[in-house]
Amino acid sequence: MATEKILDVRRMTHWPGHMEADYIYTLGIAGERFFREIKENGRISGAKCKQCGQIFVPARLYCEKCFDKLTEWVDIGTKGRVYTFTVAYVDIKGEKLEEPIIYALIKFDGTVGGLVHKLGEVALCDLRVGLPVEAVFKPQPDRTANINDIKYFKPAK
Amino acid sequence: MFGKKRVAVIGAGMTLFRRTLKETGKELAWEASKMALDQAGLELKDIDSVVMGTAPDAFDGVHMKGEYLADGSGAYRKPYSRVFVGGGTGVFAVDAGWWHIASGQFDTCLVVAEEKMSSCYPHPAYAFTTIFDPIYARPLGVTLIWIFALEMHRYMHVHGIKKEEIALVSVKNKGNALDHPCAQLAAKITVEDVLNSEVLCYPVQRLDISPTSDGAAALVLASEDVAKKVTDNPVWIDGVGWSIDSTYWTNRDLYYPRYVQSAAQMAYKMAGIKNPPKEIDVAEVYDPFDYKELHHMEGLMLARKGQAPKLTADGVTQRDGDLPINPSGGLLGVGNPIAAAGTMKCCEIFWQLRGEAGKRQVKGDPRTGLAQAWGDLMQYGSVVIMRS
C-alpha cells in the first residue's frame, strides 16, 4: 500500500507564522443584478450575446469570446439538468463530514455554462447524470443576494 | 525554424520530493539549480538569464515568492522573472526559458521551479480553497477535490469508463517510481488497493490522488552555439505550446481537455509532428490524479477520445510498452511539489533522450519526447517537445 508517511513539519526546528488577510469582494456589475434577481424575484438570469447568440449562465457583463457587452438579460427559469455530480465525504479542511454532501454542475437547456450547487431531497441511489432538477430558494425574507439564497437543487417534478 | 536561435537543454537537476523537507524553499531551489549547472558543466557566471516557476504564494507562505526565491534560483544581478500558471507552471517555465534564448536575447537560461507545500499547516490543501471564484463558488464550500471529482465523473460517464480501468494508472505510476531515487510515494500496489482506499469525493479515492510535496527541479537551456561547445549530446527543444480555455469551468468540455489539445497543436506544428502516437517515443503526461493521465493523453492526441484506458490496460503505456507514459513514476509516484513536478517531467524527458535514465530508461532509443502540465483553474495546458 502506498500510504504516505506524514512527517509533521513541527518536528523540525521551526518558526510558526501566519499570513493574515481578510477580504470583502464586491459582486460586480453583472453579479449584483444576477443576485438581486434571485433575492427579489427568485429568478435565475442568463445574458445573451448579440454577436454569437449564446446565453451565458450566470449572466455576465461581457462575452468572453466576442468581447461584446451583454445587454440582453434572459430569465432562464429554475429548472436544469445534472451534468455531473460528486458526493463529498470530506470538508474543506480534509476532515470527515458527518453527512456526505452532494454537489453537482447543473446546466440549463439552451444556455452555456451553468451553476455549481448542492443537491437535496434526493437519495444517493437515485442520483444520475441527466437528472432534471429545480432550484429550491430560501424564503424571500431570508435571502441576502448570494449563491446560498438557493438552498439546493432537488429532483424536478 | 521558429525563433531566431535553436534552443538546447544541456543539464537537469532535482531534489528529493518529500511530504516535508528540512530545506527552505531557497535551499531547495539552489540544490536543484546547482545540480543542473553541474551536469551542464557551467557555473553561475555562465548564465545570462533566469526563469523561476513557482505556484501559489500561499503554499510557501511568503507573499512574493519570486522575489524570496531569487537567490536560491541563481538570479543575483541577472535578468530574472517568475512565471506562474498554476499547475502548468513547471512546463511553462521551460517554454518561457525557450523564448529567452530563441528570441536571440540570451545565450543561456537557468529554469528552476520550486514548491514547499509543507509550510502550509496543517495541510496545504487549505491554500487551494482561495483559488476559486469568491462570489459564485467559495460560498458553497468548494474544495479542489470535488471539482476534480465532477470532471472525472463526466469523463467516466461520457465514455463509460470504469474506476478499475483508471486505477491501473495509479498502479503503473507508483510502480515506475520504485526506480526513481527522488520518489516520495513509490510502491507496489494493486487495483484493489486503489478501489478499497478511502472515498474522498466520489469517484475520487485516496489512491487516485498525488500527494502534496516539497521539492525543486531545474534545467539549463543554451543556444546552439553554446550547447555545441559544452556537450556532445544536447537535447533540442523543438516544440513549445501553451493555451487556456474558458475561465469558467462550467463552460468547458469537462470530458475532454481542449486546452491541452490547443497547446499540443501549437507544439506539434512547430516540431513538424503529424502523427503524435507514432512520432512521440516517450511522454511525461501530467498526472496529479490517475484519470488525468488518461484525459491528458487524449488531449495530446496520443490516444483517441475515450481510448486511453484501453491503451493502459493493454500495457502500451508501460515503460517497456510502445508508448511509455510517465516512466518517471509521475506525480502519483514521484510526488507533486506543484511547479517543480512539471519541471521534473521535463528533466525526465531530457534524461530519457540522453539515455541517462538508468533503471527508468525506456526501451529502444527514444529520440522524441514530450512533457505536459496542466494548471490554473484546471484549464491551462503547457507542452514542450524535445528531440535528441
pLDDT 10s digits, B109-125: 999 999 999 999 888 88
CB atoms within 10 A of CB A19: 11
**Taking a C-beta distance cutoff of 8 angstroms, is the pair A155, A121 a contact?**
yes
* pLDDT tens profile B363-379: 999 999 999 999 988 89
* pLDDT tens profile B329-343: 999 999 999 999 999
One-letter amino acid at B216 equals A
pLDDT of residue B213: 95
The pLDDT mean for chain A works out to 93
Phi, psi of A56 (to 5 degrees): -95, 135
Task: Please tell me if residue A15 touches chain B, with a CB cutoff of 8 Å.
Answer: no
Q: What is the CA radius of gyration of chain B?
A: 19
The residue among B197, B211, B198 whose CA lies nearest residue B334 is B211
C-alpha to C-alpha distance for A150 and A42, rounded to whole angstroms: 9
**Taking a C-beta distance cutoff of 8 angstroms, is the pair B140, A101 a contact?**
no
Is the pLDDT confidence value at A3 over 50?
Answer: no
Q: How far is A7 from chain B (nearest CA, A)?
A: 6
Any idea what DSSP says for residue B340?
H
* pLDDT tens profile A20-77: 888 999 999 999 999 999 999 999 999 999 999 999 999 999 999 999 999 999 999 9
Closest alpha carbon within chain B to A104: B150
Residue B44 cell numbers, joined: 553561475
C-alpha to C-alpha distance for B336 and B117, rounded to whole angstroms: 9
Q: In which band, very low, low, confident or very high, does the pLDDT at B1 lie, cut at 50, 70 and 90?
A: low
Is the pLDDT confidence value at B274 over 90?
Answer: yes
Q: How far is A157 from chain B (nearest CA, A)?
A: 24
C-alpha separations of B261 from A75, A98, B75, B265 in Å: 35, 40, 34, 6
Task: Please tell me if residue A14 touches chain B, with a CB cutoff of 8 Å.
Answer: no
Residue B140 cell numbers, joined: 458553497
Q: How much is the average pLDDT of B94-122?
A: 96
Residue B304 cell numbers, joined: 483517441
Q: Which residues of A touch B136 (CB under 8 A)?
A: 31, 58, 115-116, 147
Q: How much is the average pLDDT of B220-235?
A: 96
The residue among B246, B248, B269, B272 whose CA lies nearest residue B259 is B246
Please give the span between the terminal C-alpha atoms of chain B, in angstroms, as a whole number: 16
pLDDT of residue A5: 60
C-alpha to C-alpha distance for B379 and B124, rounded to whole angstroms: 21
pLDDT > 70: what percent of chain B? 99
The residue among A76, A138, A86 whose CA lies nearest residue A107 is A76
C-alpha to C-alpha distance for B147 and B125, rounded to whole angstroms: 13
Q: Which of A57, A103, A152 to substitute to test the interface with B, most B CBs within 10 Å?
A: A103
For the entire predicted model, the pTM comes to 0.95
For B191, counting Cβ atoms within 10 Å of its Cβ (0-12 exposed, 13-18 middle, 19+ buried), the class is middle
Is the pLDDT confidence value at B244 over 60?
Answer: yes
Task: Please tell me if residue A67 touches chain B, with a CB cutoff of 8 Å.
Answer: no
- By residue count, chain B amounts to 388
- Find out whether the peptide bond into B122 is cis, omega within 30 degrees of 0: yes
Q: How much is the average pLDDT of A78-87?
A: 97
CATH class, domain A25-155, is: mainly beta
Q: Which of A84, A115, A129, A152 to substitute to test the interface with B, most B CBs within 10 Å?
A: A84
In terms of pLDDT, which residue wins out, B123 or B279? B279
**Taking a C-beta distance cutoff of 8 angstroms, is the pair A111, A55 a contact?**
yes
pLDDT of residue B234: 95
C-alpha to C-alpha distance for B259 and B262, rounded to whole angstroms: 5
* Interface contact A2-B187, CB threshold 8 A: yes
pLDDT of residue A6: 60
C-alpha separations of B77 from B24, B44, B64, B81 in Å: 21, 11, 18, 12
* Interface contact B250-A113, CB threshold 8 A: yes
Q: Which residues of A touch B203 (CB under 8 A)?
A: 86
Q: Which residues of B touch A90 (CB under 8 A)?
A: 143, 145, 200-201
C-alpha to C-alpha distance for B184 and B173, rounded to whole angstroms: 12
DSSP B267-330: HHHHHT-S-HHHH--EEE---SBHHHHHHHHHHTTSS-TTTHHHHHHTTTTSTTSSS-B-TT-H
C-alpha to C-alpha distance for B219 and B27, rounded to whole angstroms: 16
Q: In which band, very low, low, confident or very high, does the pLDDT at A2 lie, cut at 50, 70 and 90?
A: very low
* Interface contact B201-A112, CB threshold 8 A: no
Is the pLDDT confidence value at A86 over 70?
Answer: yes
Please name every residue paired with A154 in a beta bridge, in sequence order, or none if there are none. A134
pLDDT of residue A4: 55
Q: Which residues of A touch B146 (CB under 8 A)?
A: 86, 88, 103
**Taking a C-beta distance cutoff of 8 angstroms, is the pair B343, B94 a contact?**
yes
* Interface contact A4-B184, CB threshold 8 A: yes
Q: How much is the average pLDDT of B34-46?
A: 97
The pLDDT mean for chain B works out to 96
> Residue written as cell 507545500?
B117
Cα within 13 Å of Cα(B122), Cβ side: 5
Q: How far from the centroid of its chain's Cα atoms is residue A14's Cα?
A: 39
Q: Which residues of B touch A39 (CB under 8 A)?
A: none
* pLDDT tens profile B291-321: 999 999 999 999 999 999 999 999 999 999 9
**Taking a C-beta distance cutoff of 8 angstroms, is the pair A107, A81 a contact?**
yes
Closest alpha carbon within chain B to A97: B200
C-alpha to C-alpha distance for A85 and A93, rounded to whole angstroms: 20
| CA-based torsion, B296, B299, B303, B307: positive or negative | positive
C-alpha separations of B285 from B3, B56, B305, B381 in Å: 26, 22, 16, 11
Q: Which residues of A touch B17 (CB under 8 A)?
A: none
pLDDT > 90: what percent of chain A? 82
Alpha helices by DSSP H, chain B: 25-40, 57-60, 65-68, 89-102, 144-159, 163-176, 191-196, 224-230, 258-271, 276-279, 290-299, 308-313, 330-333, 338-354
Q: Flag the least confident range among B22-36, B102-116, B140-154, B210-224.
A: B140-154
Residue B288 cell numbers, joined: 496529479
* Burial state string for B13-27 with b = 16 or more CB within 10 A and e = fewer than 16: bbbbbbbbbebbbbb
**Taking a C-beta distance cutoff of 8 angstroms, is the pair A114, A83 a contact?**
yes
One-letter amino acid at B73 equals S
C-alpha to C-alpha distance for B388 and B368, rounded to whole angstroms: 7
Domains, chain B: 7-121+211-387 (3.40.47.10)
Q: Which of A85, A105, A146 sits opposite B250 (nearest CB)?
A: A105
Please determine, for the modelled complex, whether the ipTM score is greater than 0.85.
yes
C-alpha to C-alpha distance for A149 and A40, rounded to whole angstroms: 10
In terms of pLDDT, which residue wins out, B278 or B124? B278
Is the pLDDT confidence value at B356 over 50?
Answer: yes
* pLDDT tens profile B197-210: 999 999 999 999 99
Closest alpha carbon within chain B to A18: B61
For B158, counting Cβ atoms within 10 Å of its Cβ (0-12 exposed, 13-18 middle, 19+ buried), the class is middle
pLDDT of residue A1: 39
C-alpha to C-alpha distance for A47 and A73, rounded to whole angstroms: 4
pLDDT of residue B124: 85
